Amino acid sequence: MLRAPHSWRRVLTIAPPFVWLILFLLLPFLLVLKISFADLQFGVPPYTALAEFKDEALSIVLNLRGYVLLFTDSLYVATYLHSVKMAAITTVCCVLIGYPMAYYIARSEPAVRNLLLIGVILPFWTSLLLRVYAWIGILRNDGLLNNLLMAFGLIDQPLEIYRTDLAVYIGLVYAYLPFFILPLYANLVKLDTRLLEAAYDLGARPWSAFISVVLPLSMPGVIAGAMLVFIPSVGEFVIPEMLGGADTLMIGRVMWTEFFNNSDWPMAAAVTCVMVLLLLVPMVLFQYGQVRQLEMRGGRR
C-alpha cells in the first residue's frame, strides 16, 4: 500500500518533532561532552572555553582533568562498579517478582485482568517521591517493620535497614517493578495460548511447556522491561539519597555532589559522560529492540 507521498509534505511532517528533539536532547548532550573537556574557572559560566582565537591563532584545549581523576581515583571506580552492581541486583529482583506477576495477570479472565492491571498502573501514576518516602516510616529503627518483628518476639534488637544498601535495594525494586511488569505484560497478553495447548497435547508437562514455549516468546518483553529497570537505576539519585546511608555509593549521587556541593561543572559533566558510556550497551540494546519492534509491526501491514 504505497502512495507516492509529496516529499515536501513528508519533510514538513517529520521535521518539526525531529528538530525539537535534536535541539533539546541531542544538542544538550553534546554540550555535556564538550564541557567535560573544559577546566574549572571562576565566573559565569564556571568553566573555560575549549577553543580560543587569540593573536591570529586558534587554540583548542582539551582538558582531561576530569577523566584522569575518574580513572585514577579509586573512589570513582568503586562508585561506578557499585552502581552497576546495585542496578543489576535490582533488575534480577524485578524479574523474579515481576515475571510471575505479569504472567498470572496476562492469563487471568479479561475482567479480573483489567482490575489487576490497574493495580500495577496505579503506583506508576502516583508520586514516586512520596512512595519512596513511605518506606522511611516502615524501615526505620523505630519503624513499623521493626516494631512488628519485636512485638512478635522474632528479634530483640531493631534491624538496621534504613540508611543501608538494603533499604536502597527495597526502594529501587519497589519503584521500578511496574516498569518491568508493564512491557512484559503487553508481550505476554498477546501470546497465542494455542501454542501452549499444542505443547500440552504433545505431552509437555506444564513446566517444560512454559520453559520451551512461553519463556522464549516473551524474551523481547523481558529485555525491554529489564532495560527500563536497569538503565535508570544506575543513575538513580532520589532513592539512594532518601533511603541510603552516607556510604551508599551511586553515580547519580556523586554527580549531584560534584555539581551542587562542589560546583565543579566540568567534573560533573565528565561523571555524566562516563555514566552514559557505561550505559551505552544496554541503551543501544533497548533502542534496537524499539526500532525492530516498530519495523516488525510496520511490515505486518
Residue 176 near residue 234, CB atoms below 8 Å: no
Min dist CB 77 to another protein, Å, is 19
- Give all strands (DSSP E) within 65-141, no chain letters: none
Q: Which stretch binds another protein (CB under 8 A): 53-61, 65-73, 149-157, 281-289?
A: 281-289
Piece of 25-33, 60-68, 72-80, 149-157 that binds another protein (CB under 8 A)? 25-33
The minimum distance between CB 72 and another protein, in angstroms, equals: 23
Among positions 44-73, residues that touch another protein (CB under 8 A) are 44-45
**x-marked contacts with another protein along 146-185 as a string, rule CB under 8 A:** -x--------------------------x--xx-------
Q: How far is CA 160 from CA 40, 64, 142, 163, 245, in A?
A: 40, 41, 10, 8, 11
Contact partners, residue 127, CB within 8 Å, separation at least 6 = none
Output the smallest distance, CB 26 to another protein, in A: 6
Site string for another protein, 195-234 (x = CB under 8 A): -xx--x-----x--------------------xx--xx-x
Residues 6+ apart with CB under 8 A from 108: 116
Asked if 242 contacts 251 with a C-beta cutoff of 8 angstroms, the reply is no
Q: What are the grid coordinates assigned to 187, written together?
A: 508481550
Q: Looking at 37, 169, 176, 286, which residue binds another protein (CB under 8 A)? A: 286
In the complex with another protein, which residue's Cβ is closer, 76 or 135?
135
To another protein, the closest distance from the beta carbon of 172 in angstroms equals 13
| Gap between the Cα atoms of 280 and 287, Å rounded | 10
Of 150, 238, 245, 257, the one binding another protein by CB under 8 A: 238
In 3D, which of 161, 137, 144 has the Cα closest to residue 244?
161
Phi, psi of 141 (to 5 degrees): -55, -40
Residue 178 contacts residue 93 (beta carbons within 8 Å): no
Tell the burial category of 174 from Cβ atoms under 10 Å away from its Cβ (0-12, 13-18, 19+): buried
Told to check if 16 binds another protein by CB under 8 A, we report yes
Shortest Cβ distance from residue 273 to another protein (Å)?
9
* Among 8, 42, 152, 260, interactor with another protein by CB under 8 A: 260
Please state the closest distance from residue 144 (CB atom) to another protein, in A.
6
Residue 17 CA to residue 23 CA, distance in Å, equals 10
Q: Applying CB under 8 A, does 131 fall inside the site for another protein?
A: yes
Let me know: does 164 contact 85? Beta carbons within 8 Å. no
Between residues 28 and 153, which has the closer beta carbon with respect to another protein? 28
Return the range that interacts with another protein (CB under 8 A); candidates 56-64, 68-76, 126-134, 215-223.
126-134
CB 93 within 8 A of CB 173: yes
Separation CA 131–CA 144 (nearest Å) = 15
Judged by CB under 8 A, which of 135, 169, 176, 180 binds another protein?
135
Q: Which residue has the cell 552516607?
A: 246
Residue of the chain from 31, 75, 198, 219 that contacts another protein (CB under 8 A): 31
